[in-house]
Structure 1
């Protein structure tokens, strides 16, 4: 079993605290509200959102992916760190045993924030992955990030 890892940074005019609250603490409420055309619901199967919690993302009928099950590995409101691992779902297919996501929201020197994201893809056997597949997946995640960012910019009192 191999591991493919990559790191990205996203800059935003939104503060680290607000992005953390929206994308980590309250994502289970906010994401289905902002993306009803894609996400039906996000439900905790185990726990209340803290480390060790398990949550399921349910997509709308007709989506290529029906569900994703994630485990919260770390959530730290002091350091704005949010780490979780995709442990079940069609996205894993026959290529991955899991996919770990490590996110840290930091203050940017010019204001706003920088989100540092490291993804670790745990491969099944000697499977090879294609850069295009990883890029397409990251573009979807970045699209969600941009929707949340736009919402926060338009609603400056939310998560303030």
Structure 2
């Protein structure tokens, strides 16, 4: 099986600069403080937050991610999940590319692409991938609700 790719666009009333700040630049502290029931902690293991940085994110599971690129001027970010506990038995890594663009109403459109790289000839369970995407959307919606209810936060 080859690389499994998903693309998604999500609209929000939050402007691009604020979305990028919360979900990329200050995500390590912002997300755990906004939704501590979902994200317990984010810890930098190696690096300074820029490309090449390795982070340990603790949900109910633990993920190690590698920052691939951060483009502050164009609100783009890419990173990969390189380890997971429990282990990703059939997945070598998962890569994410995110771009936040302005929408005509003053909000944002988050364009995301996720790529699942199988180990060898492994089969990736698409239902599990969809379940993970639904969890991520739920996390996004919780942060969005917080930002809408607290317009002065993270300015």
TM-score, with structure 1 as normaliser: 0.91
8 A contact 2:63–2:84 mirrored in 1: yes
Separation in 1 of the partners of 2:127 and 2:99? 25
Q: Distance in 1 between matches of 2:8 and 2:120?
A: 26
Q: How does 1:2-151 map to 2 (within 5 A)?
A: 2-59=2-59, 63=60, 65=61, 67-90=62-85, 93-151=88-146
How far apart, CA to CA, are the structure 2 residues paired with 1:130 and 1:89? 16
How many angstroms apart in 2 are the aligned matches of 1:95 and 1:119? 16
Deviation at residue 43 of structure 1 after TM alignment: 0.5
- Gap runs ≥5 in structure 2: none
Quote the offset at 1:102 in angstroms. 0.2
Runs of 4+ deviating beyond 3 Å: none
Is the deviation greater in 69-78 or in 91-100?
A: 91-100
Q: TM-score scaled by structure 2?
A: 0.94
Residue 40 of structure 2 aligns to a residue in which SS? strand
Structure 2 contact 5–115 (Cα < 8 Å) conserved: yes
Q: 1:92 deviation in Å? A: 5.1
Query: Higher mean Cα deviation, 94-103 or 31-40?
Result: 31-40
**Contact 2:50-2:70 within 8 A present in 1 as well:** yes
RMSD: 1.4
CA distance in 1, matches of 2:74, 2:143: 20
